[in-house]
C-alpha cells in the first residue's frame, strides 16, 4: 500500500522497508517547524523521529533532508 502523496514506480511491485530501532524513539523537535517535519515524513516515507533528525542535520533544509533519507 502506498502512503499518501506517493506515486507508484513503474516496474516495481514490492518495496521492503527496514525499521530502525530508533524509529519509535521520541526526539526533541525544538527548532524544527512541524510543517517541515510532516513534509519530510510524507515525501521520504519515514517516521517522525527520522524526519526530525534529518532536518536538524540539514540545518532545516527540507530538500537536503529528503535527499539524505531517500538515498
pLDDT at 43: 96
Enclosing domain of residue 39 = 34-70
Residue 10 lies in a domain: no
pLDDT at 26: 84
Contact between 61 and 36 (Cβ < 8 Å): no
pLDDT at 25: 75
Residue 14 lies in a domain: no
pLDDT at 1: 52
Region of 59 (left: φ > 0; alpha: ψ -120 to 50; beta: rest) is left
Overall domain count for the chain? 1
Residue 49 lies in a domain: yes
Residue 45 lies in a domain: yes
pLDDT at 22: 54
pLDDT at 12: 66
Residue 44 lies in a domain: yes
Task: Determine the Cα–Cα distance for residues 36 and 15; give it in Å rounded to an integer.
Answer: 25
Residue 12 lies in a domain: no
Cell numbers given for 19: 525499521
Contact between 66 and 40 (Cβ < 8 Å): yes
Low-confidence stretches of the chain (pLDDT beneath 50): none
Cell numbers given for 34: 512541524
Amino acid at each position: 500500500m502506498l502512503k499518501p502523496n506517493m506515486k507508484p514506480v513503474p516496474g516495481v511491485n514490492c518495496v521492503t522497508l527496514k525499521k530502525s530501532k530508533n524509529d519509535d524513539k521520541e526526539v526533541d523537535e525544538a527548532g524544527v517547524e512541524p510543517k517541515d517535519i510532516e513534509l519530510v515524513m510524507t515525501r521520504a516515507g519515514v517516521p517522525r523521529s527520522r524526519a526530525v533528525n534529518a532536518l536538524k542535520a540539514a540545518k532545516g533544509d527540507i530538500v537536503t533532508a529528503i535527499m539524505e533519507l531517500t538515498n
